[in-house]
Amino acid sequence: IYSSDMEAAQKAKKRIEELTMEAKVGEIYEGTVTRITPFGAFISLFPGTEGLLHISQIAPGRVERVEDHLKVGDVIKVKVHRIDEKGKIDLIRPELEGKIPPRRR
């Protein structure tokens, strides 16, 4: 990347890195809640990559409504628990790991 402006070059480099990133099982990301559904919340890990935080993984105990715990735009830490053969990403909250049994498919 070439630019006479160092800041612009750094931004371009970061954008290219984001576009080529792939989620990895076991990695922790700071993601943004993009959608709320009755069964969980979709979290953007980085541009073009979204995962599902299932309602059972949002908080200890029973969660009646996702909206009581998360809202669109919230930034939260999530850990990639599993990536299935179709590329769907299951997320968990790292601070709750071991306190909530992982969801089975």
What's the rounded mean pLDDT across residues 79-90? 95
Mean pLDDT (the chain, rounded):
89
Residue 101 counted as domain residue? no
Residue 17 counted as domain residue? no
What's the rounded mean pLDDT across residues 23-30? 94
Percentage of the chain beyond pLDDT 90 is 61
CATH code (residue 40)? 2.40.50.140
Distance between CA 98 and CA 105 in Å, rounded?
A: 18
Confidence tier at 2 by pLDDT (50, 70, 90): confident
Contact between residue 94 and residue 48 where contact means Cβ atoms under 8 Å apart: no
Residue 67 counted as domain residue? yes
Residue 73 counted as domain residue? yes
What residues make up the domain containing 31?
24-96
Residue 63 counted as domain residue? yes
- Burial label for 90, CB within 10 Å (0-12, 13-18, 19+), is buried
**Domains in the chain, number:** 1
Residue 83: the pLDDT is 96
pTM of the model: 0.78
Segment 45-74, tens digit of pLDDT: 988 899 999 999 999 888 999 999 999 999
pLDDT for 19 beyond 60 = yes
Residue 10 counted as domain residue? no
What's the rounded mean pLDDT across residues 29-51? 95
Residue 69 counted as domain residue? yes
Residue 11: the pLDDT is 84
Reduced to 3 states (helix: H, G, I; strand: E, B; else coil), residue 50 is strand
Rg of the Cα atoms in the chain? 16
Residue 41 counted as domain residue? yes
